[in-house]
Amino acid sequence: MEKQDIKFNKNEDSMKLLISRMEQKLSKLALGGGQSRIDKHHAKGKLTARERIELLLDKDSPRQEIGAFVAEDMYQEYGGCPSGGVVIKIGYVAGKQCIIVANDATVKAGAWFPITAKKNLRAQEIAMENRLPIIYLVDSAGVFLPMQDEIFPDKEHFGRIFRNNARMSSMGIVQIAAVMGSCVAGGAYLPIMSDESLIVDKTGSIFLAGSYLVKAAIGESIDNETLGGATTHTSISGVCDYKSKDDEDCLKTIRGLMDKIGGFEKAGFDRKEPKMPALNQEEIYGLFPKDRTKSYEVRDIISRIVDDSEFEEYKADYGKTIVTGYARIDGWAIGIVANQRKIVKSKKEGVQFGGVIYSDSADKAARFIMNCNQKKIPLVFLKDVTGFMVGSKSEHGGIIKDGAKLVSAMANSVVPKFTIVMGNSYGAGDYAMCGKAYDPRLIVGWPTAEIAVMGGTQAAKVLVQIEVASLKKKGETITPAKEKEMFDKIKNKYDSQINPYYAAARLWIDAIIDPLDTRKVISMGIEAANHAPITERYNVGAIQT
C-alpha cells in the first residue's frame, strides 16, 4: 500500500506540474502581442479580443476556448503569432450557446497567417456541424502579405471562409458580425455575408482598398473614415445595419440580438438531472501514470468522470483491451469507447498488452458503435492507444480485417463523436479511436497526450536499423557510440513532435485541458450537437462483416 501511495503521489505531482506549465502558457497567451500593444489598443478606445469576448459572454457561464495554443513556436522568423492572431470560444450569450471568433489586433494588427485561416475554418466547421450561431468580432488588417501564397488561393485558404458564410446562410445558421476595427480587402465580405452587421464609430472601417491604395490605383484622395467608416456604411452605402458608439455599446447590441433568437429543432439526445461523480475527480491526477509505458485501470478513470460514477459495461469479458459501455456526463447519455492499458488475459487471444487493439477488441468496439448509433447515443472516445497488434498470429487471424471493421463503424457513425486524448495516440490506433481525420465534434488532449505514427523510442529503433543497414552496404563501420548518436538524434526529433503543444499548434486537437475539465468539454459539446438534428441513417451495410 505504501508503494502504491508513493506511485500515486508521484503521478499526481507530475500531472499537477504539467497543468501548472499549461496555465503559465495560457497566461502568456492571454497577453496576445504583449502588454505594450494592449496599452496602445486601449489608448484608441478599443477593447482587446479577449476583453470583448468576456464582456459579450454571460457572466460566470461555462466557456471553452478553441485553439489557444495554435501557432505555438511557429512563424518565429516573423516574431511569432500567439494563438494565430484570433481568439475563438464556445460559450453562452443571452443564454444561447454560440461560438465567437475575435481577431486579436495586438498580434500583427490582426493579420491572417496560414494557421489563422485554418483556425477560422475550424470555428465555422464547428458552427456548421452543430448549427450553432456564430459571432464574428472583426479587427484585422487582412492577409499577412509575406505569406500570401500560403493563405490566399487554395481550397482551404482564406476564400473558403466566404464560401462557408454563404453555406451557413442557406442552412439557417445565425451569423452576426461586428466590425470593431479594420476590415479590409477580401475580408470586407465576411460581415456583409453575415445576417446582421454592426460597426463601431471612429474605430471600425470597411473597404476593399484603403486610402493609400485608392490614391495609387485611381488617384483619388480620401481619408479612411470618409471612405469606409461607420457613418458612411450606415447612412450612405447601407452596408452595415447598426452603428455603435464604442465597443461596449456594440457588444450590448449583439447581446440584444442574440436574446431574440427563437428555438430550434433538437437532435433529441437523452438528458437527465446531472450528478457529479461519486468518486473524487481529482484522484485522476494520481491514477494516471507519469511513465507513459506503465499500465493502469481505465475503469478507475471512467468512474471519476461519469455521473454518480455509474458505468454499464458492454461485453466486459470480451475484447478486454478496449472497454465499452454506457454512462452519463452532466446528465447526457453517452457511449464510452476507452483503451485499457492493463495487461489482461483473454480466452481467445491469451495474454494481451494494454493499449494495443486486438481482433476481439476491435470487433467489440465496432459492435458497440453500431449499438450507439441505433440508440442515438453520442460517443466518447477515451484514447490511450499504441496501435493494433502486430506479428504472425495477429496477421493470420485477420487483424487488418477486424481493424477495418472498427474504422468503418466509427467513420460511418452519424451520432456525434467526442475524443479525449489522455495519453498515447499512435499509428492506426489514432484513426480507429476517432482521431482528427474522422470528424469528432471536439477533440481535446490532456497535458499527457502524445500524437504520432509511433513513439520516439520505437521510431528511432526502426530508423536506426534502416540507416545502419544502408551504411553497412556501403562498407562503412558503425560503432556503438555512432549508433547511439544516431538513435538520440532521431528520438529527440520525434519526442519534440509528439508532445501535445506540437499537435495543438497545428490544430490537430482543439485544446489542451485539465483532466478535471473533461466533463465540461463533453457536456458543452453534446449540448452544441443537440442543435443539429440527425438527418442521415447509420449504414450498417457499409461495415465489413
Q: Select from 220, 237, 219 the least CA-distant residue to 228.
A: 237
| Rounded Cα gap, residues 489 and 143, in angstroms | 37
Residue 389, φ and ψ in degrees, nearest 5: -65, 140
pLDDT confidence of residue 2? 44
**Do 138 and 183 contact (CB within 8 A), yes or no?**
yes
Q: What is the dihedral of CA 428, 433, 436, 442, to 10 degrees?
A: -170
Residues 38 and 496: their CA atoms lie apart, in Å, by: 32
Question: Residue 344: what pLDDT?
Answer: 76
Q: Is 38 exposed, middle or buried (0-12, 13-18, 19+ CB in 10 A)?
A: buried
Q: What is the pLDDT of residues 343-389, one digit of tens each?
A: 877 676 677 777 899 999 999 999 999 999 999 999 999 999 998 88
DSSP character at residue 95: T
In this prediction the pTM is 0.93
CB-CB contact of 171 with 535 (8 Å)? no
Q: Report the range of poorest mean pLDDT among 169-173, 249-253, 538-542.
A: 538-542
Average pLDDT, integer, range 160-172:
94
Q: State the SS3 of 433-445.
A: CCCHHHCCCEEEE
The Cα 359–Cα 350 span in angstroms is 12
Cα–Cα nearest to 257, from 197, 191, 205: 197
What pLDDT shows up at residue 78? 94
The residue assigned the cell 461495415 is 543
Give the pLDDT confidence score for residue 493 in this predicted structure: 80
Over residues 125-152, the pLDDT tens digits come to 999 999 999 999 999 988 888 888 888 8
- Would the pLDDT of 545 be above 60? no
Q: Mean pLDDT in the chain?
A: 92
d(CA 300, CA 73): 35
DSSP conformation class of 278 = S
Distance CA 116, CA 150 (A): 11
Determine the pLDDT at residue 542: 58
pLDDT value at 35 more than 90: yes
Distance, CA of 304 to CA of 481 (rounded, Å): 47
- The pLDDT of residue 210 is 75
DSSP secondary structure letters along 33-91: T-HHHHHHHHHTT---HHHHHHHHSPTT---EEE-TTTTTT--GGGT--GGGGEEEEEE
* pLDDT tens sequence across 384-437: 999 888 788 888 777 888 899 999 999 999 999 999 999 999 988 999 999 999
Beta-carbon neighbour count of residue 308 at 10 Å? 14
Report the pLDDT value the prediction gives residue 306, as an integer from 0 to 100.
98
Cell of 179: 466590425
CB 49 within 8 A of CB 103: yes
Cα 50 to Cα 33: distance, rounded to the nearest angstrom:
12
Q: What 3-state class would DSSP assign to 89?
A: strand
Query: For residue 362, which of 389, 330, 335, 336 has the smallest C-alpha distance?
Result: 389
Does residue 523 contact residue 330 with C-beta atoms inside 8 Å?
yes
**pLDDT classification of 217: cutoffs 50, 70, 90:** confident
Neighbours of 506 (CB within 10 A): 19
At residue 65, what is the residue type?
A: E
Q: Which three cell numbers stand for residue 545?
A: 462483416
Which residues neighbour 27 within 8 Å (Cβ) at sequence distance 6 or greater? none
Task: Return the residue matching grid coordinates 504472425.
Answer: 392
**Residue 243 half-sphere exposure, CB side, CA atoms within 13 Å?**
15
Buried residues in 111-141 as b, exposed as e (16+ CB within 10 A) = bbbbbbbbbbbbbbebbbbbbbbbbbbbbbb
Lowest-confidence region among 91-100, 156-165, 459-468 = 459-468
The beta-strand segments (E) located in 479-543 are 511-512
Q: How confident is the model at residue 1 (pLDDT cuts 50, 70, 90)?
A: very low
Cβ atoms within 10 Å of 170's Cβ, excluding its own: 7
Q: pLDDT grade, residue 72 (50/70/90)?
A: very high
Helix/strand/coil percentages in the chain, nearest 5: 45, 20, 35
Give φ, ψ of 361 to 5 degrees.
-70, -35
Interval 97-123 mean pLDDT: 95
Dmax (CA) for the chain in angstroms is: 83
